[in-house]
């Protein structure tokens, strides 16, 4: 059986430990804020000039550096769909193996046709 006194002691020590952690973090937050905000409040004009210069630098970087987007695409090559009532599998084309798939991807005509279809279906791309 668990001793009731041990459970209460463990609970009290946990609460005390939480209180200690809260006090420690409170002291750290006070020191950081006091050391950061006190000089800013005292030298507000310098802080404002530094802020404006940094903001101007970031805006200039955003305007000068162009954005480039890189996207990847997957080309799915599948045989045409056949109805399930077809007489048999002898009419189904053979699946592509890796060398013929690679040769198909190297063909510029196939890629141009895919790009044309993609542009027709989704002109915003």
Q: Contact 77/101 with Cβ under 8 angstroms?
A: yes
Predicted confidence band at 125 (pLDDT cuts at 50, 70, 90)? low
Domain termination site, one of 64, 80, 97: 64
Domain termination site, one of 14, 49, 64: 64
Pair 77, 111 in one domain: yes
Pair 98, 77 in one domain: yes
Q: Contact 104/96 with Cβ under 8 angstroms?
A: yes
Pair 88, 59 in one domain: no
Pair 60, 88 in one domain: no
Note if the pTM is more than 0.75: no
Pair 8, 60 in one domain: yes
State which of 33-47, 69-83, 84-98 shows the largest mean pLDDT. 33-47
User: Is the pLDDT score of 28 beyond 80?
Assistant: yes
Structural domains of the chain, count: 2
pLDDT number for residue 55: 96
Domain range for 29: 4-64
């Amino acid at each position: 059986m668990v001793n009731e006194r041990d459970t209460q002691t463990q609970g009290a020590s946990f609460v005390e430990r939480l209180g200690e952690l809260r006090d420690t973090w409170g002291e750290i937050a006070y020191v950081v804020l006091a050391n950061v905000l006190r000089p800013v409040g005292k030298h507000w004009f310098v802080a404002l000039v530094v802020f404006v210069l940094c903001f101007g630098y970031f805006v200039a970087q955003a305007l000068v550096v162009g954005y480039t987007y890189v996207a990847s695409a997957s080309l799915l090559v599948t045989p045409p769909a056949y109805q399930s009532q077809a007489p048999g599998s002898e009419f189904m084309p053979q699946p592509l193996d890796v060398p013929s798939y690679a040769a198909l991807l190297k063909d510029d005509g196939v890629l141009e046709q895919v790009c044309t279809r993609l542009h027709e279906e989704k002109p915003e791309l």
